Amino acid sequence: MPADFELGGVYLPPIAQVLLLSLPLFLLLDALLRRLGVLAFAWHPALFQGALYAAICAVLVLLMGVSV
């Protein structure tokens, strides 16, 4: 399990690390999906984006071995 990380005097628990690491990945993947036109096929683009962010967070949790 990853240890707490200090960022500017603030300690970040592992789940906050996952949330911060998944944000740039989400932004890159979202831009790619927009460019390819995949979001045009989504029923509700905002729900799709929320589910995509949750899926990226879940994958990082599994890869990092974080116990939530």
Q: Which helix (H) or strand (E) holds 11?
A: strand 10-12
Which domain, by its residues, includes 17? 5-64
pTM: 0.82
Q: What is the pLDDT of residues 33-43, one digit of tens each?
A: 999 999 889 99
Domain count, the chain: 1
Q: What is the pLDDT of residues 18-68, one digit of tens each?
A: 999 999 999 999 999 999 999 889 999 999 999 999 999 999 999 887 665
